[in-house]
Amino acid sequence: MPILPIVTYNDPVLREPTERVTAVSASIEKLIDDMLDTMYNSDGVGLAAPQVGVSLKLFVMDGDPVLEEDEETYGPLVFINPEIIEKKGSNVAMDEGCLSIPDIREKVFRPDTIVIKYKDRNFEEQIQEFDGWMSRIIQHEYDHLNGVLFIDYLSAFKKRMIKGELQAIDQGDIEPSYPIVPKTEG
C-alpha cells in the first residue's frame, strides 16, 4: 500500500468541516489501508483522514505501543463517523504531538475517560468506553475531524514560544522521517 504524504498544520484541509462516510466502498477500504500503513511508517499512533488531505469523518489508530504491559491491547482500530457521547473523569495533562506538526510536543489537558459511538471497518455501530492513552489518542484524532489541532489548546504564551518552530514547518526547514506536504498557497 502506498505511504501517503501528511499535510502540515497550516493546510486549510485541517480546518475544514469533514463529511460523513455514507458507506464502506473499495475506495474507503483502500484509504483505510493506506492510512494505517502511513501511520505505522510515520511511527504514529493515530491518523485522521484530513491529515492526508481527505475531508472525511474517519480516523485510524493503534495505541498498543504506548500502553503499559498490564493494559488491555486493541490492535489497529478504525473509527468512521465517530461521535464522543460522554466525557468523564478529571482533566489530565499529557504531552501531545501530531504528525501534521512535526517535532513539537506540548502538554494538553483532556478528560481521562470518554464514551464514543462509531462505525467500525465493517460499518457496524460500536459504543465503547476508553480511558488513559486510548482516550487521549481518540480525542486528539476526533479533534482533527472538527478542524481542531492540539496547539489550539495552548495558552497564548505557549503559542508564542513555539512560533519559531511553526515558522520552520511553514518554510520547509524541517525534515521528518516521513513524507509531508508543505504549506499550500491559498
Q: Which helix (H) or strand (E) holds 140?
A: helix 132-144
Per-residue pLDDT tens digits for 127-182: 999 999 999 999 999 999 999 999 999 999 999 999 999 999 988 888 899 999 86
Beta partners for residue 184, in sequence order: none
Catalytic residue flag (residue 141): yes
Work out the average pLDDT over 49-54.
98
Query: Which one of the listed residues 16, 19, 71, 141 is annotated catalytic?
Result: 141
CB atoms within 10 A of CB 118: 22
What's the CATH superfamily of 6-181? Peptide deformylase (3.90.45.10)
Q: What is the value of pTM for the model shown?
A: 0.94
Distance of CA 175 to the CA centre of its chain: 20
* Cα–Cα distance, 114 to 140 (Å, whole number): 12
Give the pLDDT of residue 182.
64
pLDDT band at residue 70 under the 50/70/90 scheme: confident
Q: Phi-psi bin for 26: left (phi > 0), alpha (psi -120 to 50), beta?
A: alpha
Provide the CB-side half-sphere exposure for 112 (13 A, CA): 5
pLDDT band at residue 30 under the 50/70/90 scheme: very high
Q: List the chain domain ranges.
A: 6-181
Chain mean pLDDT for the chain: 94
Give the pLDDT of residue 72.
83
